Amino acid sequence: MIRFSRTIARLAEALLGIRLMRRINFERMERDARMLRDQLYAAQSELDWLQAGHSGTALGAATRSAAGSSITNESAEDARATDELMMHRKRDEFAEQGPLRALGPSVKGTSDAPKNEAVTASDAWRYAARYPFPILQGMPQEATCVSIIDVGAEPLEFEEDIYAPLVREGRCNILGFDPFLGKQTAPDSTPRRRILPFFIGNGRPAQFHVNRYSPTSSLFHSDLEFMSQFSSLSELCATTRIVDVETRRLDDIPEIDACDFLKIDVQGSELDVLAGSKRTLESTLFVHVETEFAPIYKGQPLFADIDVFLRQQGFEFLDFVKFGWNNYRALPSSVLRSRLLWADSIYIKTPGLMADPHPMVLLRAAFIAHVLYRKYDLATHLIGLYDRACRTELGRCYVKNFSLEIKAQSALEQPPPRNTQNRQASL
């Protein structure tokens, strides 16, 4: 009996040892797989750097072609200089961002990070865990229909629209403004999108400064003396010609019938756009605006000025995203970034003002917070305010279904169970 017990004990120890070794081996395989994955992403990043560098010519040509109808093309020498500057600048940016690329696939949920785009630390919020908006029984369908106004709608080759997650949901109407693009209407296969070729500003005549790198062109003159402290900025923002233009106030555009989400990126003219949009802001739930912390352009309003104005219009500051760091030219480096020059600022209408007189917009704001910004706690808060106003229980349903979605996504990432027959055969 004692011998039998010892035999059982030895078998148990052997079985435990086999399981322990399997676990160790499995963890080792997982670690090796992660290392291989990171090496793969690093190699892909290097390829992206080269592709981004060589795509500078195509990018420069595209922007110049778009502007050709209203603005004379740059000289061939300026074009080549612009393309070369953009190539080196993008290589420097990718050199810094490449190692962080692994952030994208390593997070839970569904990542919408483009496969060929490096993920920066400042952009990690865009590629963190993304979960679909939970199905809420009794939620009005119009709560998920979002009207977007995009001032500064020029597409960039190396990044997608900030509101792209809402577009992918197929529940938005977009009215964009960009003088370079001309009047455009999206194909029927995409959500309704119209682009109008207007300069949006204070409604008065102005001068438009066409810069070497088209996206830096502005109604304000570049402050080259300030920018000369930093790498590449003064070269990219050097003005090649000045064009007299007429600006329009956003409130004077008859095509605007609603605005839930207002995005502004106009290189220094953001406050002029906002000042001419007071009526539009009354119904706006979110404002996503690029703000500068230093005078990139002469006489431009800075973040503090925009913050004061939006607070006066009933908005609250929510978050910074897409940070624009640069390094001082005194020590050339593709890694050091000592000065924060700009960032995208997110503002939300004060919920009490938002809900008056239509509480349903609280649900639309929750939808935007969830789908676009991944601010799930804010979405829960806004749905709770709607519940209190309308005596519903959508908040409880949201939390329950959202928790189920997280568990379902987590279960998909768990390693598959070992086959029982294989385990017995190995014993």
pLDDT tens-digit map of 65-85: 334 434 444 445 545 544 544
pLDDT at 291: 97
Residue 349 has pLDDT above 70, yes or no: yes
Q: Is position 61 within any domain?
A: no
Higher pLDDT, 127 or 307: 307
Residue 188 has pLDDT above 60, yes or no: no
Q: Is position 145 within any domain?
A: yes
pLDDT at 256: 93
pLDDT band at residue 196 under the 50/70/90 scheme: very high
Q: List residues bridging with 25 in a β-sheet.
A: none
- For 219, the domain range is 134-413
Q: Which of 21-35, 188-202, 203-217, 228-242 has the lowest mean pLDDT?
A: 21-35
DSSP string, 80-140: HHHHHHHHHHHHHHHHHHGGGGGHHHHSSS-----TT----STTGGGGS---PPPP-TT--
CA angle 306, 347, 198 (to 5 degrees): 65
Would you put residue 360 in left (φ > 0), alpha (ψ -120 to 50) or beta? Answer: alpha
Q: Is position 14 within any domain?
A: no
Beta strand spans in 191-238 (E): 193-196, 199-200, 205-211
pLDDT at 117: 41
User: Amino acid identity of 293?
Assistant: F
| Residues 170-187 pLDDT 10s | 688 999 998 877 655 554
d(CA 151, CA 160): 15
pLDDT at 91: 44
Q: Which of 264-268, 413-417, 423-427 has the lowest mean pLDDT?
A: 423-427
d(CA 182, CA 400): 47
Residue 50 has pLDDT above 60, yes or no: no
Q: Averaging pLDDT over each range in 166-180, 256-270, 332-346, which range is the top one?
A: 256-270
pLDDT at 417: 63
pLDDT band at residue 338 under the 50/70/90 scheme: confident
Q: Is position 180 within any domain?
A: yes
Q: Is position 50 within any domain?
A: no
Decide if 158 contacts 54 (C-beta within 8 A).
Answer: no
Find the mean pLDDT for residues 227-234: 90
Q: Is position 332 within any domain?
A: yes
pLDDT band at residue 399 under the 50/70/90 scheme: very high
Residue 234 has pLDDT above 50, yes or no: yes
Higher pLDDT, 345 or 356: 345
Find the mean pLDDT for residues 407-424: 64
Residue 200 has pLDDT above 70, yes or no: yes
CA angle 317, 136, 110 (to 5 degrees): 65
pLDDT at 7: 58
Q: Is position 368 within any domain?
A: yes
Q: Is position 392 within any domain?
A: yes
Residue 394 has pLDDT above 90, yes or no: yes
Q: What is the mean pLDDT of the chain?
A: 76
Q: How far is CA 171 from CA 24, 95, 165, 166, 384, in A?
A: 47, 36, 10, 7, 23
Residue 253 has pLDDT above 80, yes or no: yes
Give the tokens for residue 410.
Answer: 């987590």
Structural domains counted in the chain:
1
pLDDT at 397: 93
